[in-house]
Amino acid sequence: MNQRNPYLKHVKRLEFSVTHRCRSRCAHCALGPDRLDGELLPEDAAAALEAVDRACALESVLTFGGEPLLCVPTVCAVHQQAEDRGIPRRQLITSGCFTHDKALREHTADQLEASGVNEILLSVDAFHTEHLPIAEQYAFARALCEAGLGSVTVLHPTWLKGPESRDPYDAKTRACLRRFEPLRLPVGAGNRVFPGGNARIYLADYFQRTPLDAGFQCGTAAYTERLDAPTSLAVDPDGSVRVCGFVIGNLHREAMADILGGYNPNRQPLMRALLEQGIPGLIAAARDCGIEVSPGDYDSPCALCRAVARQLK
Cα torsion for 99, 105, 111, 115, to the nearest 10°? Answer: 70
Q: What is the mean pLDDT of the chain?
A: 92
The model's pLDDT over 49-65, given as tens digits with 9 standing for 90+, comes to 999 999 999 999 999 99
Domain containing 155 equals 6-209
Does residue 49 lie in a domain region?
A: yes
Rounded (10°) angle between helices 72-84 and 102-115: 20
Cα torsion for 48, 52, 55, 59, to the nearest 10°? Answer: -150
Is 305 within 8 Å of 296 (Cβ atoms)?
Answer: no
Is 235 within 8 Å of 40 (Cβ atoms)?
Answer: yes
Does residue 300 lie in a domain region?
A: no
Find the angle CA(64)-CA(69)-CA(74) to the nearest 5 degrees. 80
Does residue 196 lie in a domain region?
A: yes
Sheet containing 240-243, strands listed edge to edge, beginning at the edge strand earlier in sequence: 153-155, 119-122, 89-94, 60-65, 13-19, 232-235, 240-243, 246-250
Alpha-carbon distance of 174 to 126, in angstroms, equals 8
Task: Report the SS3 class of residue 92.
Answer: strand
More confident residue, 95 or 300: 95
Instruction: Note the pLDDT of residue 1.
Output: 41
Instruction: Note the pLDDT of residue 41.
Output: 96
Is 178 within 8 Å of 163 (Cβ atoms)?
Answer: no
What's the gap between Cα 304 and its chain centre?
19
More confident residue, 48 or 34: 48
Does residue 223 lie in a domain region?
A: no
Instruction: Note the pLDDT of residue 31.
Output: 72
| Rg of the chain in Å (alpha carbons) | 20
Is the pLDDT at 26 greater than 90, yes or no?
Answer: no
Does residue 93 lie in a domain region?
A: yes
Q: What is the CATH number of the domain that holds 71?
A: 3.20.20.70
Does residue 281 lie in a domain region?
A: no
Nearest to 79 by CA among 93, 94, 95, 92: 92
Please tell me the total count of domains within the chain: 1
Is the pLDDT at 28 greater than 80, yes or no?
Answer: no
pLDDT grade for 2, boundaries at 50, 70 and 90: very low
Does residue 283 lie in a domain region?
A: no
Instruction: Note the pLDDT of residue 313.
Output: 60
Going from the C-alpha of 71 to that of each of 98, 111, 255, the distances in angstroms are: 9, 12, 22
pLDDT grade for 303, boundaries at 50, 70 and 90: confident
Does residue 216 lie in a domain region?
A: no
pLDDT grade for 306, boundaries at 50, 70 and 90: confident
